[in-house]
Structure 1
């Protein structure tokens, strides 16, 4: 991160007098991922999720305005490809060969996303090695893809929330979930869980249409600033950590 900080801060300082600042308005779909809790939480203006809060914070820090749109989630890619939207938040790991497409560029990583084996505290010692899932019944989300699901027996549930409840009821001993969704629902349901072995790992970036690539130094500098001053971790903790009494 220090390398990113030096390179992009220097570039931003050199070019800041020539960038398009408050005059630039980027179009964004606020409903792009309305089911991806706690990254995006729909119909919750006061608590719109980690990315739901970080996106306007990043762009405000970069002195770039956002024009919010409300396309249905499934229309987002079409809208991006046809210039109706200017950016979204994705992980390169979701794309074949991590290629975001010829029309797009990307920011530096905003935060890491990770899938873990999740389990109750008392069973954590059984799941510290990813190979321990082989031929075992593992809780999964119906419709989700898992890169190694031929190695274990899927037990599908409707959502991350239901996975946590299934662990509590001991319907399964372990499950696979994103770390932050698991921690969010564990907090909401007051069911302590442990993040055991890592299943997969990636990073979230801002995917930007190349016609706006001149804005990347500002965006990257804003991301670095929010990481350095603790704002990103503070946002994560807001949705995943229990408050001390």
Structure 2
């Protein structure tokens, strides 16, 4: 009889836990910047960007409801820190010591990501080492995280597109950008930029508030499934082909 009662209790607990998971709605704001091309492309419902497509697929596969918000870049990190948002996507390589902080847990790797020092081609030889940032005024994107921004002076712009324009107009000598966004906007603006030293290299992961840590197994399983069946790579390929770039000009 005792075993039977225990079994029933376990079943009830599993049912309650499963119900709680099913009822959970995670709030997010995938566009940390208004134009993180090609990861997020605003006002392009047919081609919303790599994360614009992956996030709904991922959470649907994990059977977790989501609620999209549209906070400005400066408010996004505040919203995450204060529970107004529940997750975003970051690379641990953007943080000092790869530490996302005590408020968060991280998922398994979603995709590889790289940042470079970018500059005009004529100046690329002067920026071949990351330590050359020290003490300099460096173009950055407002609201973005940089693991060593205490070592240089941030000159914030609203997007990677504006970073390219700032380099052309000599407002800054160098900036930091993801490689794909920099190459995309350089082509659109016909700007002779170069990818100089690597600033950070790592993986993009979900940064999830710790109170939702119990959902990680579902999320990681969904990531593994989308990687195994080729969905993630297919979406990445779609946005790294010239045809899509031309469509999103």
TM-score (norm 1): 0.66
After TM superposition, give the deviation of residue 112 of structure 1 in Å.
2.3
Partner in structure 1 of residue 18 of structure 2: 20
Partner in structure 2 of residue 43 of structure 1: 43
Change (3 A) 1:182 1:237: farther
Alignment coverage as a number of residue pairs: 227
After TM superposition, give the deviation of residue 106 of structure 1 in Å.
1.0
- Matched position secondary structure for 2:242: coil
Bigger shift: residues 157-166 or 67-76:
157-166
After TM superposition, give the deviation of residue 180 of structure 1 in Å.
1.4
Task: Measure the CA separation in 2 of the matches of 1:146 and 1:84.
Answer: 24
Bigger Rg over Cα:
2
Change (3 A) 1:74 1:29: farther
Is structure 2 residue 116 aligned with structure 1 residue 116? Answer: yes
Q: CA RMSD in A?
A: 4.3
Task: Measure the CA separation in 2 of the matches of 1:162 and 1:75.
Answer: 20
After TM superposition, give the deviation of residue 60 of structure 1 in Å.
1.4
Partner in structure 2 of residue 86 of structure 1: 86
- Matched position secondary structure for 1:46: coil
Contact 2:103 2:210 in 1 (8 A): yes
After TM superposition, give the deviation of residue 224 of structure 1 in Å.
2.0
TM-score (norm 2): 0.65
Is structure 2 residue 28 aligned with structure 1 residue 29? Answer: yes
Partner in structure 1 of residue 66 of structure 2: 66
Counterparts of 1:198-213 in structure 2 under 5 Å?
198-213=198-213
After TM superposition, give the deviation of residue 116 of structure 1 in Å.
2.4
Bigger shift: residues 69-78 or 219-228:
69-78
- Matched position secondary structure for 2:47: coil
Task: Measure the CA separation in 2 of the matches of 1:207 and 1:175.
Answer: 25
Change (3 A) 1:28 1:41: farther
Task: Measure the CA separation in 1 of the matches of 2:70 and 2:210.
Answer: 22
Contact 1:33 1:73 in 2 (8 A): yes
Bigger shift: residues 160-169 or 77-86:
160-169
After TM superposition, give the deviation of residue 23 of structure 1 in Å.
1.7
Partner in structure 2 of residue 12 of structure 1: none
Task: Measure the CA separation in 1 of the matches of 2:230 and 2:103.
Answer: 32
Partner in structure 2 of residue 75 of structure 1: 75
Change (3 A) 1:240 1:113: same
Partner in structure 1 of residue 100 of structure 2: 100
Task: Measure the CA separation in 2 of the matches of 1:36 and 1:226.
Answer: 25
Bigger shift: residues 164-173 or 69-78:
164-173
Contact 1:187 1:240 in 2 (8 A): no
Change (3 A) 1:59 1:173: same
